[in-house]
Amino acid sequence: MSGFIEKHGSELITKIFEHLYISLTALIIGTMIAVPIGIIISRNKKVSQIVIGVTSILQTIPSLALLAIVVPYLGVGRTPAIFALVIYSLLPILRNTVLGMEGVDHNTLDAAKGMGMNPMQLVFKVQLPLAMPILISGIRLSGTYVLAWATLAAYIGAGGMGDFIFAGLNNYNITLILVGTISITTMTLLIDYLFGKLENYLTPKTSNMIGDDV
Amino acid sequence: MIEFVNVTKSFGNNIAVDNLNLEIEEGEFVCLIGTSGSGKTTSMRMINRMVKPTSGKILINGKDIQSMMNEVNLRRSIGYVIQQVGLMPHMNIYENIIMVPKLLNWDEDRMRKTAEDLIERVDLPLDLLESYPSELSGGMQQRIGVIRALAADQKIILMDEPFGALDPITRDSLQRLVKRLQQDMNKTIVFVTHDMDEALTMADKIVVMDHGKVIQMGTPEDILLRPVNDFVREMVGEERLNQAVFEYETVTKVMRDPVKISANKTIGQAAQLMARTRVDDITRVDDILVVNDENVLVGRIDMRALTKRKSRDEKVSSIMKQVTYIKDDTVVRDAIYYIQELGHRNISVVDQEGRLIGIVTRGDIVSSVYDAFWSDYEPENEEVEEDEAFEDYEKVSAASEQHQNGGDQ
């Protein structure tokens, strides 16, 4: 083990950061695209069904195939990997945003509208805060997916922990595979935990009773 | 203050409100009542433009709301209370109450003061301001819902079955609260309900709607005493209609013609009159009422007075006694009270100038009560008087006697 650290230690850290960089960039871009679209399409049931349908189809493209498809257009490296991961991250975020926005009690919305909130105030002061827990859990879900799929990004030269696993596969080096897998699992659990914290933090308070919010 | 002019609203082929014309005065409490699908809620929601009329216009203070200002400003000037309360779950009570003032950018001190004033008005503790809606009971939530609609000093308040989901006791106290607030603060309230009791106790004006049309419009008294058709009768309910006779009808409805005599007639003539009426049995009244030349009631004479040894030629005014009377605008319920509780056998009815117009007897009251509550009551063994049934009855009673005897042995 100490031999492994000596040999691969600095590479491991580099790859972990690469992996996180690819995944989180994809997740952030995905969130920035999916949340606004989700908010807009949630206002119209028909449109939201169509958009979610299209995103679901994108989701069914095998990840390896998608990576292969983007190469001719975007070349190899991080950019195409991030692009592919963004597409993968869209659906859970989009769907949860729409569900969250549509799930807000329509009486609450009726009252807010009837008292004179304009459409922007309705979205940002009522709908979005109340949709926040569901919305965040969509991002959380996407986060775990993206971290796992980023492994494949190594195939098109994006780097990340995939390099360890593929190197291990090619050289029949179990240690490399295990280190890669355990690192990814650890990252995923950590990110999931952090999003859990974020979810609690962003969930609006609806009670003074201790423990009600958590 | 609010005026509907030929307002129609249709959803596709379905006409929800059909050519509605309605005028609501300032400070008036108007109840829109009807079954579901009658268009009452749609009508109300057109006032704050939550629903856009298909044709016709709605005026507030003479201005067409469709062209007046943007809908958001209109809504901020009109209070809005719905059945499901619709408090914002993620805002505490204080933030909920000051929702509209905040939209109007009031300063913090003014909002704080308004919220505290209002919460005291509805008898809730100040520290409730920091609570969240989920921590309040349904009744408390709707109290907040009501004061939220008052916070920006709205002149018009729309209420859509606000107490429909509450238990009867809570509903009762909230009804009184809202009525009190409305009178204290001179609000114009448009109140949608399907509960006739609620409408009758709270409204100044009731608008009965069915299938988008106004069936009848009037004060609770109008609706109770003069329902225009069977639909309204059914909405009100037979029992209430009958009771209404006592609460709103005046005694002129149940009184009969009095037996009267002029004060300057003689005792002899009075005796004659009394004898004649007793024979004719027009009335079982033992009294004769005495009136002056203008038909103003001045007294009464009874049998005992006539038997006093006086000359037959003396004027009746010499033996007449004091008389109890009620004015012609007295309601039946009060007349019942005078007769039942104060022990009068009968009471004379006079008009506003004191002229005798009738008399109400104990018998009249009994028959009006009977009409109201017992008119469709029939004893179960009514057939007993018919021969055949009577025989059956005898057989049955004979059988039961035998049975009883058998039981004794």
CA distances for A55 relative to A87, A94, A133, A149, B269, angstroms:
8, 8, 22, 17, 107
**Cβ distance of A108 and B87 shorter than 8 Å:** yes
B-chain residues within 8 Å CB-CB of A117? 72, 103
Q: Looking at the predicted structure, is the pLDDT value of residue B109 above 90?
A: yes
Which band of pLDDT confidence, cut at 50, 70 and 90, is reported for residue B134? very high
pTM comes to 0.75
Burial (CB count <10 Å: 0-12, 13-18, 19+), residue B370: exposed
Compare B345 and B161 and report the one with higher pLDDT.
Answer: B161
ipTM entry? 0.80
**Cβ distance of A205 and B89 shorter than 8 Å:** no
Q: To the nearest whole number, what is the mean pLDDT of chain A?
A: 88
Over pLDDT 70: what percentage of chain B? Answer: 87
Q: To the nearest whole number, what is the mean pLDDT of chain B?
A: 84
Which pLDDT value is given to residue B324?
83
Region B123-127: mean pLDDT is 91
Specify whether the CB–CB gap between B288 and B259 falls below 8 A: yes
- Give the whole-angstrom CA distance, residue B95 versus residue B103: 11
- Give the whole-angstrom CA distance, residue B343 versus residue B228: 38
| Cα B351 versus chain centre, distance | 25
Region B165-193: mean pLDDT is 92
Partners of B23 in the β-ladder: B3
CA-CA-CA-CA torsion for B151, B154, B159, B163, nearest 10 degrees? 30
Which pLDDT value is given to residue B381?
61
Burial (CB count <10 Å: 0-12, 13-18, 19+), residue B274: buried
Token duo for residue B260: 């009267």
Which pLDDT value is given to residue B397?
52
Compare B293 and A117 and report the one with higher pLDDT.
Answer: A117
Q: Looking at the predicted structure, is the pLDDT value of residue B215 above 90?
A: yes
**A160-184, pLDDT tens digit by residue?**
888 888 889 999 888 889 988 999 9
CA distances for B114 relative to A111, B76, B101, B126, B187, angstroms:
20, 16, 9, 12, 17
> Which amino acid is located at B26 in the chain?
E
**B308-334, pLDDT tens digit by residue?**
666 777 787 778 888 888 888 888 888
**Cβ distance of A114 and B133 shorter than 8 Å:** no
Token duo for residue B402: 């035998």
Task: Report the residue from B77, B87, B132 with minimal CB separation from A208.
Answer: B132
Over pLDDT 90: what percentage of chain A? Answer: 49
**A134-154, pLDDT tens digit by residue?**
999 999 999 999 998 898 888
Compare B340 and B375 and report the one with higher pLDDT.
Answer: B340
* Residue A48, phi then psi, degrees to nearest 5: -65, -35
Vertex B55, ends B53 and B58: CA angle to 5°? 60
**How far is A205 from chain B, CA to nearest CA, in Å?**
6
**A72-121, pLDDT tens digit by residue?**
898 888 889 999 999 889 999 999 999 999 999 999 999 999 999 999 99
Compare B53 and B336 and report the one with higher pLDDT.
Answer: B53
Question: Chain A contact for B88, CB < 8 A?
Answer: yes
- Give the whole-angstrom CA distance, residue B47 versus residue B60: 8
**Cβ distance of B132 and A206 shorter than 8 Å:** yes
A-chain residues within 8 Å CB-CB of B149? 115
